[in-house]
Structure 1
Amino acid sequence: MADIAGYVADLLAVQLQERRDSVLGMTTGTTPLTTGIYIEWARRVHQKELDLSRARFVNPDEFIGLPQNHPESYRSYMNKHLFNNIDVPLEHILFPNVEAQDLKAECERFDTVVQSWGGIDWQLLGLGQNGHICFIEPNDAIPSSSYIVNVAEENRILYAADFGSLADVPTQAVTTGLRMLMCARKIVLVAVGTKKAGVVARIVLNPVSTRLPGTFLQLHHNAVMILDEESAEGLPESLVNRLRRIK
């Protein structure tokens, strides 16, 4: 896992060399924690090996119905695992404000701010077991702009342990639209572990479909997928043999 964290940090360093004030799309979930991605970023910042002082951070989604300081909000997650450890100015951090009275207007505001920043330069992604990216859940159609999404029941069940019960897991979230994600200048998706092997194979081998949002990365002009041996288990051997090894 340290190899993956280091490799992702190397990719980020290259991005920041090209543009110190890059707009970075963040991700939450278990992958940054199991791989130590954010720990490595903080370590490099403290060792003066990585300069995030001018970077701006966009979190593309947030649960509806949770206050900002709720321990399971994505803002709390990012504060705990990254922002509080690298001293980021508040004005450099953007989340959807799910406490706004008019959430549709908030979605528009969020998109406008990202556009005023010049769009996403470098987007880090995880991969949900149902194929979602960000909180773009499988559906018959996916909006192009940020929107209110119903959290898939299978995902609510997965989150129940963290919230204490299924009843406490929010049923909706605000998430980025497909256009903003696909307009990111570079996408770095990380998936690790046997539990992700099936969905990794599905998004790589299946046709592009809104029923499997991760497949849209097949269409992106500059997307990188970083896997470990377990998450690559479902891919054909002929494909695995052509993959670049980090080591």
Structure 2
Amino acid sequence: MVICEAKDYKDLSRKAANIISAQVIMKPDAVLGLATGSSPEGMYAQLVEWYNKGDVDFSRIRTVNLDEYRGLAKENEQSYDYFMHKHFFDKVNIDVNNTNLPNGLAEDPEEECRRYDALIESLGGVDLQLLGMGHNGHIGFNEPGDFFDKGTHCVDLQPSTIEANKRFFESEDDVPKQAYTMGIGTIMKAKKILVIVSGADKAEILKKALYGPVTPKVPASILQMHPDVTVIADKAALSAGE
């Protein structure tokens, strides 16, 4: 595991964008596992800037997103599909037919999970998986629990996750209570993993994830077992030390 300290959020975003763009340049048809939320917004903005300068070409890239709220249509402004189009897909030359997210409106959750796992397998797996980290150590929507879920699954969101996400909705009642997420097993099959963490409020959980015991109580701790993980965190997020 490589831990890279960034000076601030802007530096973090640039360093993360460097790794993503390098992957695209090395393998123009790479499969990128993408994430949403506030952490990667700056990274996507940097990639868009470099695309506009002609420095990076996304025309052959395939993508699979980590997660999607259950019950939200793609057109809903709070869906992760909408987020990806707003911040990235609609601003670069990616083929929308090569972008993939779980279907939040799928009628049969179990069938949707099987479909998504089969899709990822059909693409040959993920070359580079981008992750953020929740305040409780979740990656994707793999919440703390008694075991590590292997494949894509539909999860009940914990109160702390709903609390963290309510700022994006008109009220807490509007926050979906379930989401589809890649499982820990799927994430761990990625050839490379890039984790970005920002802010002092993440310092304690980042310390547990990087240096504590590997336990499903801290889902991100499983990343200690992956052979190729890069963590980019700002000084604030690394302030708890080892």
TM-score scaled by structure 1?
0.92
SS at structure 1 position matched to 2:21: helix
Runs of 4+ in 1 over 6 A off after TM superposition: none
> What are the residue-to-residue correspondences of 1:1-247 with 2, within 5 Å?
1-33=9-41, 36-236=42-242
Q: CA RMSD in A?
A: 1.1
C-alpha contact (below 8 Å) 2:89/2:96 kept by paired residues: no
Amino acid at match of 1:8: A
Q: How far apart, CA to CA, are the structure 1 residues paired with 2:184 and 2:138?
A: 11
Q: How far apart, CA to CA, are the structure 2 residues paired with 1:105 and 1:142?
A: 20
Higher relative contact order (CA closer than 8 Å, sequence separation 6+): 2
Amino acid at match of 1:151: L
May I ask how many residue pairs the two structures share in their alignment? 234
CA distances 1:104-130 after superposition (whole Å, capped 9, x unpaired):
111101111111101000011111000
Amino acid at match of 1:130: N
Q: How far apart, CA to CA, are the structure 2 residues paired with 1:182 and 1:225?
A: 15
Q: How far apart, CA to CA, are the structure 2 residues paired with 1:26 and 1:54?
A: 15
Q: How far apart, CA to CA, are the structure 2 residues paired with 1:13 and 1:75?
A: 21
Segments of 5+ residues of structure 1 without an aligned counterpart are: 237-247
SS at structure 2 position matched to 1:124: strand
Q: Which stretch of structure 1 is more off in the superposition, 81-90 or 183-192?
A: 81-90
CA distances 1:216-238 after superposition (whole Å, capped 9, x unpaired):
010000001011110000013xx
Segments of 5+ residues of structure 2 without an aligned counterpart are: 1-8
SS at structure 2 position matched to 1:235: coil
Q: How far apart, CA to CA, are the structure 2 residues paired with 1:116 and 1:182?
A: 17
Q: What is aligned with 2:3?
A: none
TM-score scaled by structure 2?
0.94
Q: How far apart, CA to CA, are the structure 2 residues paired with 1:69 and 1:14?
A: 31
SS at structure 1 position matched to 2:193: strand
% identity of equivalent residues: 33
